[in-house]
Structure 1
Amino acid sequence: MDGVKHTSEDSELISETIEKLPVSVSREGKGKRLWKKVKYQLVEYNSLPAYLRDNEFILGHYRSEWPLKQVLLSVFTIHNETLNVWTHLIGFFLFLSLTIYTAMKVPKVVDLHSLQLPEVLKADLHKLQECLPSLPYMPDLHKLSGELKSTLPSIDLLPSFSRWHVMDLLYNCLPERFSHSNQTDVCVLRSMKEDVANMIAPLMLRPITRWPFFAFLGGAMFCLLASSTCHLLSCHSERLTYIMLRLDYAGIAALISTSFYPPVYYSFMCNPFFCNLYLGFITLLGVATILVSLLPVFQNPEFRTVRASLFLGMGLSGVAPILHKLILFRHQPEALHTTGYEVLMGIFYGIGALIYATRIPERWMPGKFDIAGHSHQLFHVLVVAGAYTHYQAGLVYLKWRDLEGCRGT
């Protein structure tokens, strides 16, 4: 009896369990969804692992050790890194657009409208530009200059660029105007025309090389994309954080180094010694900075000021070539124009580094700038502004050297 009774109780218990089973499964599913939702909630600073603790004045809205899928999707959600990601991601697309635009706008010939010349002379130059041949050799410029001066002394009243064009145009008219001249004179003038054409075609009709300018644009895009990626992915794991921070520091060093390429190259392209000296120095300094940034201790929060000072020191190393340029081209308006842009760029970068190092304004009101307005976001905006200012300076350099080459250097 006891055995049968026990069996009956067991059957009732099993029936009750079966009846309740769908509810339990349902509760378990809800529990998993609830846990998943809680697991991917933003946390406060005190809940972070040590490697994610960088700024104690930002108190909340942190992502902590999320799966990679959730990390990638968080680019479209609100947290304390959202604007850090987007400020530099938008900057990356801005410079990508500028790079494509600049590459498409490389002139096939120099824009003569930019020259400060009389309208009649500009028309003559356009006429000459259409008919000048591009010959493979260069003449003896001193000999040619002497021949031209002895032929038309008054031509010295024009700028040197204009003299060669006017001389050639005069020759084009000579067969009609001086049909009484003997054959020897015509042959001499024809020889002079070919020499002038040889000199002008390779120097004045071809734009200057663009590689230093595109090196800067490439450095800017690498820096902005590396920074955006770092701020997006660093919350995944300690190993990925280490890799992303190294990439971020390398991007900053690349931006600073390549920013020197256009001003140094285009200022000293006719002085190879100083050009190679300055370019070599800043390149070595950039590589050294990247190597130092690979040290694990470099990313610790207490080294924030050291990091800012190191990158600021890289920027200040550009003072020497800028001062040298001003001395060398003190009478060139382009030198002052580009220096104005470069000073403005330095101001943007300097203020950004100062804000980054001092953690203003969140140190004044902890927790008030967690989502928007904290120092790193301001730093990002100032970096983009400084890089764009430098882009404008680069356009001035290109226009200057396209028109003048090494003349007057």
Structure 2
Amino acid sequence: MTLTMTKKVIECQAETLQFMPIEKVEDECSTENYSSGSTLLKRGKKLEDNNNLTKEDLEYINYRQLLKYEEAPAYLQHNPYIRDGYRKMLPTRLCWESVFWWTNETMNIWTHVFGFFLIMSLTINDLLLINIHATMADKVVAAVLFSCFMICMALSALYHTFSCRSETDYNTFLMYDLFGIALSLLAIYTSGVYYAFWCNYELKVFYMITVTVIFVVAMTLQIPRLNVSYLVKMCVFIGWAAYGMLPTLHWTYINGGFDNPLVQILVPRIVGMYLISGTAFIIYAFKIPEIWFPGKVDYIGHSHQWWHILVLGALYYWHNTAMLYVQYRMNHGCASTMRIF
């Protein structure tokens, strides 16, 4: 598409422009003082309206241009196999608007926007619509679990929305995103410990304290001035996830092993949770499938999108696992022959 312009805007000097592609409008024509990201659309203009475009229209067109990997801001160049679809550094208003653009972040944002509302609907269904005769403590645990999951989804979506605002904002929202992941892990552990050790108060308190301590350590490492490397942070998260095997094995033992029907029901579910989470991490860490198809899955189908889908699937799967346990305990109560150590 070409555009005839008789004058450049003042900032670009009063030179006459020849026919030139929209993509070549110089970056210096843009400004951080842009006040209305949808000026062009609000006025009902089309790109073909060559003689009616204003300075703001040109700025908007310039902002909408997507970048190749080599053209993207350096701090966004963390996956060389995603070759196209990067947003320019945008002001706040256009960061919000870019949620509705088609970029390599669009699916990252919307998978967890969908996840937020899915978990909200589960919350309403479980706490308000289904009468399971649970105690107030049970309802509080469920509410905390759902709240942590929704916060995780929301912070993830915000991170992907504002990652292009500035490098400072990128690092800030990345910290929030990691906080959301840690919060969801804490919710999974505390709910799992609460339900698994429903019949043993001492062990319930012990394991809740230990997972909370690990959460505090993981969050402390996120403090920017400590300058902890990303690798160390991820190792702490992996170690935290692996720690979950300890209460699982202990719970299996005190319930009599696989002779117990509850163990037969829930241990495979816990193994399934680890398989889903492990698969998600492998896809994320090894950048599958874009490492095999560079530039082919830039907009849909790359590793971070699969990571999002599997994380959401894991949270939904854990919700269903918790419901199975609650239903079993309400129908069978606590075993009188349960071992402690």
Q: TM-score range by the shorter chain?
A: 0.7 to 0.9
Which position in structure 1 is the counterpart of 2:215? Answer: 286
Asked if the contact 1:230–1:247 (Cα under 8 Å) also holds between the matched residues in 2, the reply is yes
In structure 1, what is the Cα distance between the partners aligned to 2:289 and 2:133? Answer: 51
In structure 2, what is the Cα distance between the partners aligned to 1:286 and 1:297? Answer: 17
> Taking structure 2 as the reference length, what is the TM-score of the superposition?
0.77
In structure 1, what is the Cα distance between the partners aligned to 2:179 and 2:321? Answer: 24
The letter for the 1-side match of 2:120 is L
Q: 1:176-207 CA distances to partner (integer Å, 9 max, x unpaired)?
A: xxxxxxxxxxxxxxxxxxxxxxxxxxxxxx68
2:98 alignment partner, one of 67, 74, 86: 74
Are 2:303 and 1:375 equivalent residues in the alignment? yes
1:387 alignment partner, one of 293, 315, 323: 315
Asked if the contact 1:216–1:262 (Cα under 8 Å) also holds between the matched residues in 2, the reply is yes
In structure 2, what is the Cα distance between the partners aligned to 1:259 and 1:210? Answer: 15
1:322 alignment partner, one of 248, 269, 273: 248
Secondary structure at the aligned position of 2:138 is classed as: coil
Asked if the contact 1:342–1:389 (Cα under 8 Å) also holds between the matched residues in 2, the reply is no
Percent identity between the two aligned chains:
30
Are 2:69 and 1:45 equivalent residues in the alignment? yes
Which position in structure 2 is the counterpart of 1:248? Answer: 177
1:309 alignment partner, one of 219, 230, 235: 235
Are 2:195 and 1:266 equivalent residues in the alignment? yes
The letter for the 2-side match of 1:312 is I
Relative distance call for 1:108 and 1:67 in structure 2 (3 A) is: closer
Asked if the contact 2:85–2:103 (Cα under 8 Å) also holds between the matched residues in 1, the reply is yes
> Taking structure 1 as the reference length, what is the TM-score of the superposition?
0.65
Q: 1:24-69 CA distances to partner (integer Å, 9 max, x unpaired)?
A: 9x96945653343023311112122222222122111111211111
Instruction: Give the Å deviation of 1:91.
Output: 0.8
In structure 2, what is the Cα distance between the partners aligned to 1:52 and 1:43? Answer: 11
* Mapping 1:207-222, distance limit 5 Å: 209-222=138-151
2:328 alignment partner, one of 373, 397, 400: 400
Are 2:278 and 1:350 equivalent residues in the alignment? yes
2:58 alignment partner, one of 2, 10, 34: 34
Pairwise CA RMSD of aligned residues?
2.6
The letter for the 2-side match of 1:403 is N
Q: 1:55-87 CA distances to partner (integer Å, 9 max, x unpaired)?
A: 122111111211111111111110000000011
1:232 alignment partner, one of 141, 155, 161: 161
In structure 1, what is the Cα distance between the partners aligned to 2:137 and 2:114? Answer: 30
Asked if the contact 2:63–2:88 (Cα under 8 Å) also holds between the matched residues in 1, the reply is no
The letter for the 1-side match of 2:254 is L
Structure 2 residue runs of 5 or longer lacking an equivalent are 1-13, 18-49
Relative distance call for 1:323 and 1:105 in structure 2 (3 A) is: farther
Q: Which ranges of 4 or more aligned residues in structure 1 deviate by more than 6 Å?
A: 296-300
The letter for the 2-side match of 1:251 is G
The letter for the 1-side match of 2:297 is F
Relative distance call for 1:336 and 1:208 in structure 2 (3 A) is: farther
Asked if the contact 1:208–1:405 (Cα under 8 Å) also holds between the matched residues in 2, the reply is no
Which position in structure 1 is the counterpart of 2:78? Answer: 54
Structure with the bigger RCO (C-alpha within 8 Å, sep 6+) is 1
Asked if the contact 1:213–1:394 (Cα under 8 Å) also holds between the matched residues in 2, the reply is no
Are 2:26 and 1:100 equivalent residues in the alignment? no
Q: 1:291-334 CA distances to partner (integer Å, 9 max, x unpaired)?
A: 2123378797xx4x554433222111100111111112234322
Relative distance call for 1:32 and 1:240 in structure 2 (3 A) is: same
* Mapping 1:33-182, distance limit 5 Å: 33-105=57-129, 107=131, 109=133
The letter for the 2-side match of 1:357 is A
Once the two structures are overlaid, the 10-residue window that deviates more, 253-262 or 266-275, is 266-275
Q: 1:76-134 CA distances to partner (integer Å, 9 max, x unpaired)?
A: 11000000001111111101100110002453648xxxxxxxxxxxxxxxxxxxxxxxx
In structure 1, what is the Cα distance between the partners aligned to 2:277 and 2:232? Answer: 16
